[in-house]
Every structure is written in C-alpha cells, then in structure tokens.
Amino acid sequence: MKGLKAIVSLLLVAAFSVTAILGQTAHFDVAGMDTKTSACADFYQYANGGWLAANPIPPAYPAWGVGNVLNERNRDVLHDILEAAAKNVGSHKSNNEQKVGDYYATCMDEAKIEADGLKPIEAELDRIARINNQGTLQDEIGHLHSMSLNAGFGSGSNQDLRKSSEVIAAIVQGGLGLPNRDYYIKTDDRSKSIRDEYVKHIAKMFELMGDDAAKSASEAQAVMTLETKFAEASKPPVELRDPEKNYHRMPMAQLRDVAPSFDWFAYFQRVGLVQKADVNVAQPEFFKAFDAQLTATPITDWQTYLRWNLINATASGLGAKFVDEDFHFKGTILQGSKENLPRWKRCVAATDRALGEALGEVYVEKAFPPAAKKRALDMVRNLEATLREDLGTLSWMGDATRKAAIVKLDAFLNKIGYPDKWRDYSTLSIDRSSYVGNRLRVNQFNERRDWNKIGKPVDRMEWFMSPPTVNAYYNPQINEIVFPAGILQPPYFDASADDALNYGGMGSVIGHEMTHGFDDQGRQFDATGNLANWWSDTDLKAFQQKAQCIVDQFNGFEVEKGLNENGRLVQGESIADLGGLVISYAAFQHSLQGKPRPANIDGFTPEQRFFLGYARGWATSIRPELARLLVSSDPHPLAKFRVNGPLSNLPQFAAAFQCKDGDPMVRPEKDRCVIW
C-alpha cells in the first residue's frame, strides 16, 4: 500500500502454493494427519503431520502449504486467459483483452528482452547521470516517485485518519533496499551476514550494468551508507502499527519546518499533485534525517543511490543475468528458495499485479458464479449476527462501549468476490515494444490515479486486492471486510463440503477479518473510519490487559534457538485469529440448531472436523530463511502458532478432543486468553 493505509490482511499467500498433484482433495484428507501425535499435545502436527511429511518444499518456493492447491488452480485459470489473449492479435479484441494480452506477451518474450539489454531504462539512467546540483537531484527524486520508485521515502494519497471523508497527501519513511530498519541495525551474526550479502548483491548489479569491480564495490558501500542513515532514523515495525504515533497532519507549507532543504511544492507538482493540500508526515523524525542527508551525502553518492533504486526495481524484468542476480538475493538469501519459478508463472503473477481488475473481470466469469457470491454473503451475515450476539454478552465490556461496538459492526461494508464497478484502464498505454516499458507505464498510471484522489470524495467501493487473490483484508478507514473471489474457492469455501469444514475454513477467515475491527489497531477507529476513542477508560484498560495476554503467549513461541515470535508485532493478527475462531465456532453451532445432528465423517464429530478444517488451512512447511524474515517484519505469526496458539485458549477445542488439564494444548485457566 502507498501512503499510510491501515489495511490488515489475512496473509495466506506466503504459506500457499501447490498440492493438487499430491492428492489433496477439496474435502479433508485424513491421510494428511499424524495420528501418532496426540491432538492434545500438538494439534498442528496431529492435523497436518502426514501432509507435511509427504510434501517437501519444492526448490522454487520458500514455503509450501495446503493453500497452494487453490493458488495454483487460480493461476492456471489466469494462464489460460492470458495465453488466449496474447495469441488473439486481431481487431476484435476488447480494450482490456488487448492490454492483458500484450503485457503478458512482452513478459514472455525472453528473446526480445535479452536483445534489448538496458535499453528500456537507458533514458532514466541518462537523467540520473545529468544530476549536478540540489535542484536536479530533487527533481529526479520526484520523477522516480512518479513511476512508483520511492527512493528516499514513500508518498501517496491517504484517507485522513481523523477525517475519514477526506483524502490528503502522505509521506512516510522508506528508501531501504532490505526488508526493514532492523536489518541494518541488529548486530547478531545472521544480520551481519545478510548485510554483507546485500552489499555484494548491489556491487554485482553495478558490474552487470558495466561498472568495473572496484567502482562497483565503492558504489555498493555508498548505497549501504546512505540506506543505513535512513534506517537509523526509521521506526521499527511494532511502532509502525500504532496509528496515533504515525499521524501528523499539517499544511504543505509547514513541511519547511520539518525538512527545509527539500522543495516540497516542486516535489508535489512533479508527482502530479497540482493543488496545495494538507500532508500527513507520518514520521517527522525520519524526514529531518532525510533532509540532513540531502546536503551531507555527496551528489555523486546520491546518483549512485538513485541508479541502484532504478535497477533494483526493474531487474526482474530485464535480461537473464539481471533476473538471476535479483533472484539470488531476494529469493535465495532472504527467503531460501533454491531456484526461480518458471517464467510463465512469474508472468501470470506480474500481469495480475499490473492489471488485476482487467484480468479479474474475466477470471470471475470463469471461477466465481453469482450463486457462490450469494452463499458467501450469507455466511458473512451469519457471522456478523453471531459477533453481535457475542458483543452483547461480554462481561468485561460496559454498556456504552458495547453500544458503540455494535454500531461499528452494523456499519461494516461487505465486499464479496469482485468490485461492483471495474477499474477503468482506458488511459493506460500497453504495447509489445518493451516489458519494462509496460511496467513503468503501469506504475505511472497508478501514481497519477493515486494522486488524483486527493481533495476528492473517498471512493468507498475501491478494492486493494485483485479478484483472483487468495487472501482477505479489513480496512478500518472504510470499516470494510473484503473477500476476493480467489479465496472463496475449495478448500476454504466449498459448496459440496460439510458445514463443519466450511465454518472451520472460510468461516474462521471471515471471523478473523471481522475481529480486526476490534483488535489493538481496529479498536482505535470508529464506525465511520475515524481515528477516535469510543471506549470507556475502564473497558479500554480491560481490553489492553486481555491483549497483553496474547502478547505474552506469542512472545513464548520459539521459532528457532534464540529467536521467538514478537508478541507486540503479531498481537493484532493473533487477536483476530482467536476472535475469528470463537465467532465462527459459535456460528457453526447456531447452524446446527433445529436440524438433525450431522453424522460423523471419517470417525470425527462435526466439532472435531471444524477444528481439523481450520488447522489444515494452515498446513505449511517453511524455509528457515523465510521464517526469520517474517518474524522480523511481518505482523502475522508463523502458521504453526496460528493453530496451536488460539486453540490452546479454547475450552471448545479441549471439549471436542477430550483434552484434559495439564495437556500441552490446554492452558491453565489463569493463563488462558479470553477476549470474545
């Protein structure tokens, strides 16, 4: 997301790739269990141990999970659409069909990409080479930002946190090539090793661009020195989750007091903001440090840094030597993958990222019929009714807070499957002359679209994920829950499966996103999306004590020797996991009322299948490199802890599997986290 959009997603994609070839069906496969492990000792292993043992991570993936069957099915559908669009060059093509077909075709044209070399970015390299003073330096930073190459910092439109009906400008900390500031600052051996590899990677890229080895090594050090200065002034990931600490709205003219050396009026005109507007300076201390480096860092080092930003952003679309080096660091060093994905898979994903709604419009016609949308909406409404009932019974929540919570719940905007109005790409030019050229034009199109939002009414119907995406999100500034068609498929949502699996799978996802409206971040926004406190002091203190229970639990989960989950970083997602399970389980129980009790399946009760369905959705093998990256930067816990963590708090789970006090999956009552 650009700017400071407080969207929180389920993040299934990191865990999900392919399993269809390995015998996974749409329903629960008991062969994937490990019944030698007690359900009450380690439920994640009990539910998934057989699957994990039978499914080693393929070389091209940093993680390999059950959800890949869905990711891969969706990718196959998109592949068929794109292959047909790329081959149909005639005049009967629709505007969107032409665009997705041409974009995909240029990505697949390896021969032309190799023959072009650096030609697609030569004009941009020439611009950087002509920088000779502060004026041309700052103009080039703005120019690169107009193409979504956010050198130095990030920027964009921002729905105002306290006035959710207004769209203002925002500038945020950034400028880093490593995942976050901790990679530059930590002194452990692993962090030092990654920094060393990063410097080698930068130097190698400059060599591939034609610089000699000595010059490239010097350039890499210059980049690392400047990025380290930015990192030292940046907030850590935990602090970035606090909207109050990242909100500093001011008139554009006041930016001179924060960063006086930078011509902000010229910058905003350069990126496409024509009127003077208020700006949220998310991290003022960072921009003071950025301003200092404008003059403290030599112009030649800034040129080197901007060249690095350009090649770093475009390398994956250039020739094989650039693609290989880019993957070596980002795929192998940071995530542990052994080889790159086949080109067609990368090109399908790239087209989805670039033209998600143009491609998604065809995808939903093939993969998401109206009946599926209706059933998904019915399930959402069932869970909302259950959460409303739950809010009415919470002993720790007072009446005034409870009333405000129910008002917020009733104001949820539900988005299911795909947008009601598709994005207009008519002004975007896509052709078959250059893949990187197409990428940069898409970036420019998106930047113009983003900046044009400022000063206009908020588009409450906009989507921030494409329809084929296997994920979901909650956006507190719209107060919306969003479920793309990509996740509303088997095994998460399957019309032919029993309700227990659907509620354990998709129901828990829906409940998760709903609960985000009331987690440590979401509870700070009211029903209209404004950052406002609607809690009594007593109720807020009670909630924070309950949230601290989650923090303490996850701090205790060991990823590897010497590395634990960061409870403060993952508390929002973990609160949502726990709430999603509680609400979905209650909704499932409601669905059984007035009906004959469902028969056991494969020897498991409906209640047991609910929890098995939930756990199987998170079955994931993960490489240690990716695990370390996620733990340091991602607010989502690792999959094993997303299962065993919340379930160990639930008496409903213990009852379903006859677990007893003292079992590892049963926390003592005094240590049990109970919020919903």
What one-character-per-residue DSSP string does 450-486 give? HHTTTTS---TT--SS-TT-S--EEETTTTEEEEETT
Q: What is the pLDDT of residue 18?
A: 25
Largest CA distance in the chain: 79
* Domain assignment of residue 545, given as a range: 8-66+368-419+467-671
142 and 55 share a domain?
no
pLDDT at 649 exceeding the cut of 60: yes
| DSSP-H helix ranges across 492-623 | 499-502, 508-516, 537-555, 567-592, 606-616
49 and 152 share a domain?
no
Residues 6 or more apart in contact with residue 37 via CB below 8 angstroms? 45, 46, 49
641 and 499 share a domain?
yes
pLDDT single digits (tens) 480-530: 999 999 999 887 888 788 999 999 999 999 999 999 999 999 999 999 999
413 and 286 share a domain?
no
Q: What is the pLDDT of residue 503?
A: 95
Q: What is the pLDDT of residue 8?
A: 67
User: Does residue 113 belong to any structural domain of this protein?
Assistant: no
Pairing of strands 167-173, 279-281: parallel
pLDDT at 4 exceeding the cut of 80: no
Domain CATH code at residue 394: 3.40.390.10
User: Does residue 80 belong to any structural domain of this protein?
Assistant: no
559 and 471 share a domain?
yes
pLDDT single digits (tens) 532-556: 999 999 999 999 999 999 999 999 9
Residue 332 burial (10 A CB sphere; 0-12, 13-18, 19+): middle
User: Does residue 347 belong to any structural domain of this protein?
Assistant: no
Rounded Cα–Cα distance for residues 220 and 304 (Å): 8
pLDDT at 13 exceeding the cut of 50: no
pLDDT single digits (tens) 300-340: 999 999 999 999 999 999 999 999 999 999 999 999 999 99
The mean-pLDDT minimum among 6-15, 235-244, 328-337, 439-448 falls in 6-15
259 and 387 share a domain?
no
Which residue matches tokens 């070596």? 328
pLDDT single digits (tens) 432-447: 999 999 999 999 999 9
285 and 376 share a domain?
no
Of 365 and 89, more confident: 365
Q: What is the pLDDT of residue 105?
A: 98
647 and 507 share a domain?
yes
pLDDT at 611 exceeding the cut of 60: yes
pLDDT at 153 exceeding the cut of 80: yes
pLDDT at 397 exceeding the cut of 50: yes
Rounded Cα–Cα distance for residues 473 and 409 (Å): 15
User: Does residue 220 belong to any structural domain of this protein?
Assistant: yes
User: Does residue 438 belong to any structural domain of this protein?
Assistant: no
Beta bridge partners of 280: 170, 249
Could you tell me the pLDDT band of residue 25, with boundaries at 50, 70 and 90? very low
Last-in-domain residue among 297, 317, 337? 317
Residues 6 or more apart in contact with residue 126 via CB below 8 angstroms? none
User: Does residue 229 belong to any structural domain of this protein?
Assistant: yes
47 and 130 share a domain?
no
Mean pLDDT of 190-214: 98
CA proximity to 323, closest of 145, 107, 129, 178:
107
Last-in-domain residue among 295, 317, 339? 317
Q: For all residues of the chain together, what is the average pLDDT?
A: 94
Last-in-domain residue among 274, 294, 317? 317
295 and 376 share a domain?
no
User: Does residue 75 belong to any structural domain of this protein?
Assistant: no
pLDDT at 469 exceeding the cut of 50: yes
Rounded Cα–Cα distance for residues 359 and 488 (Å): 17
536 and 654 share a domain?
yes
Beta bridge partners of 9: 473
- Beta carbons of 569 and 240 less than 8 angstroms apart: no
Could you tell me the pLDDT band of residue 92, with boundaries at 50, 70 and 90? low
Q: What is the pLDDT of residue 11?
A: 59
Return the active site residues. 513, 577
Rounded Cα–Cα distance for residues 335 and 197 (Å): 13
Q: What is the pLDDT of residue 93?
A: 62
Domain CATH code at residue 186: 1.10.1380.10
pLDDT single digits (tens) 108-130: 999 999 999 999 999 999 999 99
pLDDT single digits (tens) 156-168: 999 999 999 999 9
Q: What is the pLDDT of residue 22?
A: 26
User: Does residue 554 belong to any structural domain of this protein?
Assistant: yes
Number of structural domains found in the chain: 2
Beta bridge partners of 116: none
304 and 410 share a domain?
no
Rounded Cα–Cα distance for residues 578 and 642 (Å): 9
